[in-house]
Amino acid sequence: MNYYIIADRFLLEDGEKVGGYLKVENGKFGDFVEAIPNGSDVQDWSGYTIAPGLFDTHIHGVNSYDIMDGTVEAVQAISESILEQGVTRFLPTTLTSSAAAIEQAITAITAAVEQGLPGAQSEGIFLEGPYFTEKHKGAQNPVHFNDPNLEQFQAWQKLANGSIAKIALAPERENTMPFIKQVTDSGVRVSIAHTDASYDCCKEAVSNGANNYVHLFNGMSGLHHREPGVVGAALTDPTVFAELICDGHHVHPQIATLASEIKKDKLMLITDCMRAGLMPDGEYQLGEFKVFMQDGIAKTEFGSLAGSTLQLINGVKNLQQWSNKPLYEIWHKASLSPACSQGLGDKLGSISKGKLADFVVLDDSTAIQATAVEGKIKFNKK
């Protein structure tokens, strides 16, 4: 399937390109050209902007479905629903639960991917837990917390046919450092999360292979001038990535802007969305907890934030408005930075020759008009 795209502008890694034609060839981006051969197939998006597809590396659910439902239907429904948000790639994300429940979710994700996802494509499973500590548990169930167990993880990886791509843990737990090294040596990304670790402990985790901090400022020890804590470790290390939920509730807009300035292209926007996303206010379930959503904010009965209901496109628009930075710069924090955090920056995340032709069509208000995966339009608002 080969064609050319014409549009008013294209969001590139280093700026915006106005006009011209972008070639799409065999599901990948080709060259920009000023003229095309007669009889060429053209997708005419005059009046619109073309941007790379978004990549949500931390999403539990949306539109009444959750990965922990443990069903193929849930995974496929999530894949399709997030197309409207401009998301073309995602990491189906579990949460802390019983081993049986986690295994059921892994089995469902693996089966759904094997059958074929109808919308956004999975780039691997993200296990958020169960190797956390209680002080910053958030909406994770501490009943199931335990120390990292390589034998358990390897059994899960076998069940997943090798598709677990990322795991989050608290580095202060017993046996964590050798676990991080062994897991990262096998190609799995390790993130720091739901932790009361010291600055030094976090630095040791990074030296052993951890490369990311989950939902920065949330579920972690805060910044102090005598003990920088997890937040300090994340902000002062230019080599590691940090996730940020830009819904205006998890992190104050000014602090989100500050984090963006400090972390630059190592900041990655996520949603941490749960099943209440795109749904009306009311009562929902997140894992084993009841969650109550009011005015779009999801909380447990104990008052803790319980994931979010954020759409990734809105996180992009929020940070762009708060920071007053060019759209292309903020956009790539939700496309290229997530891809790079997973070692996929040469394949995904930007409009560049040879990369998969995942793209979205934006109107003047940055609303999603269409979404394409590997060159095929999967969502069209028209």
Residue 177 has, within 13 A of its CA and on its CB side, a CA count of 11
Q: Whose CA is closest to 128, among 71, 221, 172, 194?
A: 194
54-341 carries CATH number 3.20.20.140: yes
- Both tokens of 109, joined, read 């994700």
Active site residue 44: no
Q: Residues 308, 249: contact at Cβ < 8 Å?
A: yes
The predicted structure's pLDDT at residue 287 = 76
The predicted structure's pLDDT at residue 125 = 98
- Both tokens of 133, joined, read 């500590």
Q: 3-class DSSP state for residue 84?
A: helix
Answer whether 0.75 is exceeded by the pTM: yes
Distance of alpha carbon 272 from alpha carbon 162, whole angstroms: 23
- What is the identity of the amino acid at 300? T
Distance of alpha carbon 78 from alpha carbon 93, whole angstroms: 11
**Structure letter (DSSP) for residue 286:** E
- Both tokens of 207, joined, read 């030296």
The predicted structure's pLDDT at residue 116 = 97
Catalytic residue among 31, 272, 295, 346: 272
CATH of domain 3-51+351-380: 2.30.40.10
pLDDT beneath 70, residues of the chain: none
- Both tokens of 142, joined, read 């501490």
The predicted structure's pLDDT at residue 162 = 98
The predicted structure's pLDDT at residue 360 = 98
> Where in the chain are all domains bearing CATH 3.20.20.140?
54-341
Q: 3-class DSSP state for residue 18?
A: strand
Q: How far is CA 267 from CA 240, 242, 278, 280, in A?
A: 9, 5, 25, 30
Distance of alpha carbon 372 from alpha carbon 185, whole angstroms: 34
> Where in the chain are all domains bearing CATH 2.30.40.10?
3-51+351-380
Q: What angle do CA 121, 191, 313 make, to 5 degrees?
A: 45
Residues in the chain, how many? 382
The predicted structure's pLDDT at residue 121 = 98
